[in-house]
Amino acid sequence: MAEQSIEHSSARARSEIDRPGKKRTPGSHQALALDARTEAWRFYHDNSLDTEPDAVDRAILKTAVRLVPAGMRVLDVGTGRGHLLAALRPEGGLGIDLSKRCIMDARDRYPGFRFVTADLLNLATVPSPGGPFDYIVLNQVLPELADLVAAFRALHAHVKPGTRVVVFDRTRPRVPRWAPPSVRISGPDLEHVFHLGGFEAIRFQKTGVFNGFRMVVLRPAPHLFEPPVQLTASVILPILSEVEEIPGLLESLPDLGDDSEYLLVTAASTHAGVKNAVEDMDGSRFRILNTGSENHEAAVFEGISAAACDCVVLLNGRIDDTPELIPSFLEALRTHEGDLILANRRIYPDEGGATLGTSSRLARRFLARLFTHRTGQRVGDVNNGLKAVRRGDMERIMQCWKAGRCPSGFHTPALLATAGRLHLKILDYPARPARPISGGKKSLLDQLRFFWRALFTR
């Protein structure tokens, strides 16, 4: 009976297209066909029998809860009966679905959230949707979308630079034979659709072969947003041990403009030397913070707490990477090319007097591949001296550490693991080392031990 009704609705749509004397406009055939497809799926969901969540549905729900932090603003596209939106515990949540029956059921089950009968293509007609959103979840709706590219372009009005779009799609759609025709699209074609729709895939994961799902995390393409004219930076430079030529070290730092600053975090043994060096030169761009301790993480934490600019740049006191790269890192952040910019010193491994043994080279490459697997993004090096991130993203990273969701620490492995957890775009930047690269057996073993901890932290 349901099959005959869907065929009847499709036939009625065809008759609308071919009706004699009807005024046709360019694209009218396609528009009516899309409307007929949408109505067919709406009829299917309104009249299909209630089905209990299967193993794939439960696995998707568990993965979504792990990916999306609680307290975010979430848009759930294809919300169904609202189970996934409620499990995410958002601060502001909106669920949309084609089926009026599903929306009414969701309102009864979860009155604390807002559910609206709407299509993704006409989301603009929803009054006060509440965007921009932190996360947009598309759960098993790709086969039903009449126009994939237009659907993703419709999300542009509801995203911001930090928004992440999470797409779940079954490897085998769970629909009966009488359901309307569904879209089947391969991985490379899907990435091309994302590109045309104005999004960039930063993580792709597939679970199962015959009865599993694939998960894609997207970020808005940089061209969707007008970049600011200039970003200011707080460069944090811990000087906790005696440095031979402090004046020469400070003079090598590039001028980043009047609104940027260098925060020199000193210990008791280095405070006097740094203070005298700053007084002997133009010290207007320097601020000195005396921690009285030689603990590196405590020094960096105090520097970040005192930072007042748009971006945070972490630079170690040895100046392992050439500081002339700082403006290039800030430009990558300004144009949204990346969210966490790291210096990749493996591209120029033998410059600056750096001579790594074969075992150290292989170990660093092995660790880089491990973190590539962990973050879902390409990681070229795990031994970085120069790092740059927006201050808001740095605060999110520290909140994640405070909540115990990732092992903490301002070294590269901790930043990589947490950035992958928060779906920040990691960008490797080729860097020429300014001095020999350090990284003995102890350093490599520490990084491997941290990776093991980060791998099993949920």
* Region 45-51 average pLDDT: 61
Residues 6+ away with beta carbon under 8 Å from 340: 387, 388, 389, 393, 415, 416, 419, 424, 425, 426, 427
pLDDT at residue 421, as a whole number? 82
Is residue 410 predicted with pLDDT exceeding 80?
no
Q: Which two tokens stand for residue 67?
A: 């990916």
pLDDT at residue 8, as a whole number? 44
Describe the crossing of helices 441-455 and 358-375 by its angle, rounded to 10 degrees: 20
pLDDT at residue 148, as a whole number? 84
**Among 304, 311, 279, CA closest to 289:** 304
Is residue 445 predicted with pLDDT exceeding 50?
yes
* Region 360-381 average pLDDT: 76
Q: Residue ranges of the alpha helices (H) in 252-390? A: 271-280, 296-306, 326-334, 358-375
Count of CB atoms situated within 10 Å of the CB of 292: 10
pLDDT at residue 32, as a whole number? 42
Contact indicator for 103, 78 with CB cutoff of 8 Å = no
| pLDDT band for position 359 (cuts 50, 70, 90) | low
Q: Residue ranges of the alpha helices (H) in 205-263? A: 246-251
Is residue 428 predicted with pLDDT exceeding 60?
yes
| pLDDT band for position 73 (cuts 50, 70, 90) | very high
pLDDT at residue 315, as a whole number? 84
Q: Which two tokens stand for residue 1?
A: 């009976």
Q: Residue ranges of the alpha helices (H) in 154-213? A: 187-196
Which tens digit of pLDDT belongs to each residue from 378-387?
Answer: 777 777 778 8
- Tokens 């490599």 locate to 444
Render 353-388 in DSSP notation, one character per residue. Answer: T----HHHHHHHHHHHHHHHHHHSS----S--SEEE
Is residue 56 predicted with pLDDT exceeding 50?
yes
Which tens digit of pLDDT belongs to each residue from 93-111?
Answer: 899 888 888 888 889 999 9
Contact indicator for 392, 234 with CB cutoff of 8 Å = no
Is residue 307 predicted with pLDDT exceeding 60?
yes
* Region 12-37 average pLDDT: 44
Ranked by mean pLDDT, the top range of 45-49, 190-194, 197-201, 350-354 is 197-201
Residues in the chain: 458
* Region 39-43 average pLDDT: 64
Contact indicator for 144, 173 with CB cutoff of 8 Å = no
Q: Which two tokens stand for residue 452?
A: 């093991």
Which tens digit of pLDDT belongs to each residue from 220-237?
Answer: 998 888 877 788 999 998
pLDDT at residue 193, as a whole number? 87
Per mean pLDDT, which range of 27-36, 164-173, 330-339 is the poorest? 27-36
| pLDDT band for position 312 (cuts 50, 70, 90) | very high
Describe the crossing of helices 391-402 and 412-421 by its angle, rounded to 10 degrees: 90
* Region 6-17 average pLDDT: 42
Ranked by mean pLDDT, the top range of 210-219, 285-294, 371-380, 389-398 is 389-398
Start-to-end CA span in the chain (Å): 47
